[in-house]
Structure 1
Amino acid sequence: MWEKLPPGDGAAVVTEPSLTYWQDARRRLWANKPAVVSIAFILLLITAAIFGPLFSPFTYADQNLRLANIPPAFETYSVADGHGTTTRFFLNASNFNLYEVDAEGHVLGLLRGERKDMLKKSQAFEFGDTTITLDYSRLPAKLVAEDGATISPSGWSWNRTYIFGTDQLGRDVLVRQLYGARISLTVAFVATLVNFFIGIFYGGIAGYIGGKTDAIMMRIVEIIATIPLTLYVVLLMVVFDSGLYSIIIAIGSVFWVDMARIVRGQILSLKSQDYVAAARTMGASTTRILTRHLLPNSIGPIIVTLTMLIPSAIFIESFMSFIGLGVTPPLASWGTLTSDAVETMRAYPHQLFFPAAAISLTMFAFNFLGDGLRDALDPRFRK
């Protein structure tokens, strides 16, 4: 509430209520529109990854080779069979197949025509008394009526059966995308836990105790940081099978070193403060000083660093899966989806667009959220 306090000269002075540190940080965070949009996107992604596959009739492993490489949108054609029945279908210009659809855009199945004429590069299709010919001697392929006229499409339609289309094995791209989000969010969750329970306390102990203990602990951090993560994952796969668990073990083993360094620096700058000396004089233990005084006063930089490291963990998992060191088929991750789609990028660009867009948007969201938290938690910006 706002209140007016009359000063000695009779003029009204407007003052605003005193806000705590966290209340002011929350107010400034909600005033940051990119950060708020990022929070909404992350919550939507988590909800879709958890509950989305439950509402789909397909799983990430269901295959239907007859419906392979179907795009998310297509131009539909209408052909009457001469008996009052009209057949709707679309032409997949990349594999020269015709697929029957209904008026709403649901894919009904693959249309079978006569044997392909490989010399003339054509194929005939019969619809009752009507025969049309698929001519792919010149690209783009076209449909020709019996009188030689080119059949024009009746309009565009969205794929209501496979919203994101299908891949080269006829699997639903949307469901595989959601399962990929599950894996990426699992990696992000593991990275968060590792950074919190190992990185924070490891760096806090090293910074507070100091001396030889600090020197030894930080030399261990430097040794771990010098090992290339790719080589480390390959070495783990010699012991374990390739897959998600190898990625989780690799990230859980080495991903905390950056957090430990940052927390150590924060503790070194705070442990000389008067309130720490007072707590030590009153007989507080090292554990109590760390958990009740030093780490809570470092929570701002810790949260910001934690948010910034999450997209790095997601990118590492995607990169490892892209080069074949991640999850194994038929499991899906954004990295494996991108790797599979690169081979057919020119013919079916939609298969590459969706996982690449998911990786990019997720990394943007966490980075924008990290920037917003940094501005909100920095006491220098407090008003």
Structure 2
Amino acid sequence: MSLLQAALGASDLGWNVLPVDHHKRPHRRLTLTGHSQTRDGKTAPSWKPLQTQRVQTEWLHTWFTPDVPGLAAVTGAISSLVVLDFDGEAGWALLRKWGLSPNALSGSGSPHVYFEHPGWHVRTVASGSLKNPPFPGLDVRADGGMIVLPPSHLSNGAYRMLDVSPQPVDTLPEAVALWVGLLPTPAVTLPEAPLPEAGTDNDLRALLDEAVSRSAQGRNNAGYWLARQLAAQGLTRSDAEPWIRRFQATMPDTDSQGRRDPYTLTHALSSLHSAYASPVRSRGARRTTQGMSLQQVQVALPRLNASQRAELARLLAGAAYRLGGLEMAAATLREVGLDQSFATWAHEQAQRNVSLPGWPRVERFLKQLR
């Protein structure tokens, strides 16, 4: 089959196609139909308009002459096509693990698997560009991307078609389909997140006793420590002041060396001011950053798209796994209504001694969404 015949057949399937050179770059014959751009004073081929503009049959006859080595499809909504590109040994390992059959093989032998575009935006992702990809070896060709099609013969070899029909989404593990963006965002009803409560009197008395004990090593340091602890318990500055005054009243007029050096109320209130001038976590956040992060997750979830939910599930699974293993990772994802299979992913990464994301990564991701 010639490239022109293959291009006409792909066009009949609704795929937008274009010619490419030996290195997968848009071929110069695109300029003959006005698909060009000026770069450094020179005319260069441009395929960007084909992401939204339907290819006309007469263009195919202009583009695909015998000297053109390659044919590519514009992936995404325009072609209703999403392609998973499994690269190298890691890619083949994923393909076998998930029990998938390739639709095509690249010139280097990498398997390509075709899926119907779901109708919403699906990002194009190269796993090599991600710092910590959830599925190393898996690239996604979707909106804004393209994929070389058989029977192209490029510098990396000949491409082969095995089955042109896209595969059902349910052949993919749910966690993968969510990360790729092939599944819709599930509706989740979330409870209102409770605010952290201030410490009880017993908690505060215990802190006061501890501060008095610490004063033997320095009253100013002990007073500042107490003020920070009161702030971390959720007390306002005005509520904390009586406890600081109690602490000051218990202090002797001599320092730890027995020399006369009164610890005045001015000293104590200065420590209080300094403590409340610095950022202090609430009691709930102090005990575990997880609690505050999950509250932020509950607020952010309703506005996330499918790919963002999958990325958040990956980060949460990793952070929770680091604290309590597989059981905590699954429970954390279940609590916020995210895909629990990412807990298994975290377990597999840990078994391979791959570093997992921590709670600061979760908080940074949530902050970027604001």
TM interval, shorter chain, is under 0.3
**Higher relative contact order (Cα pairs below 8 Å, separated by 6+ residues):** 1
Higher helix share: 1
Tell me the TM-score normalized by structure 1.
0.27
